[in-house]
Amino acid sequence: MDPLDDLLPTARPLLDRVDQMLTVAGAPADHRIWDELRRVRLLPGDAARAVASLQPVALGAAGPEIRAEAQACAEVAAGLPAPGEWSGPAAEAYDEARQRMAAQLSGGDESLDERLEATADLAEALREWMEHTRDELARVVAEALGSSEAAALMSAAATMPPPDADIVGAADVAAAILRVIADNYDYATDLIRGSADLASALPM
């Protein structure tokens, strides 16, 4: 359990109320909520639950395990036996093949061990991103729960159409939640795009 897991059950009524208000009443045309909705394409409640489904613990062991595989590649490359006293064309052909194999396994920018190291870096960066995103969302949700807008929304009668002040209040809460999610997901998108060459470049 982390702060987000602790907060979401308490925040669920507020998130449901905000989602309902946006669905039924919308928001002022010039409100910033529309920009955030275009970025996230989810209502705040659904977006918050999507972030809550991120499990950084699942990636916790990935980095060390992948780095161990990279080390194994380097050890195999270093252990490929040289021809020794063997000589002649066959020995030369073998040694060329041995050096090619060693270079594929370890040592160069495109070698398997370097690709595995880069993959481990990505796994660790994604884990850190998940933790940061969850923490940032928890902070914003906590602020929303303590806001005057939340107090008004949760104490107001569910009249339709709702008062303008409640519509704006719901949009304000929604915009704050969606903005932190959108900003963090933009970072994740950049992270994935920056690592897109890993899949195509890893030897099969």
pLDDT digits (tens, 9 = 90+) for 102-113: 999 997 778 899
Q: Which residues of the chain have pLDDT under 50?
A: 201-204
CB within 8 A of 141, min separation 6: which ones? 4, 7, 8, 11, 48, 177
Whole-number Å distance between alpha carbons of 182 and 133: 10
Whole-number Å distance between alpha carbons of 162 and 69: 59
Whole-number Å distance between alpha carbons of 137 and 132: 9
pLDDT score, position 200: 55
pLDDT digits (tens, 9 = 90+) for 177-192: 999 999 999 999 998 8
**Entry pTM:** 0.82
In 80-163, alpha helices (H)? 89-105, 112-145, 148-155
CB atoms within 10 A of CB 93: 11
pLDDT score, position 199: 56
pLDDT score, position 163: 87
CA 122 vs CA 55, 91, 142: distances in Å: 15, 40, 30
Which residue type occupies 23?
T
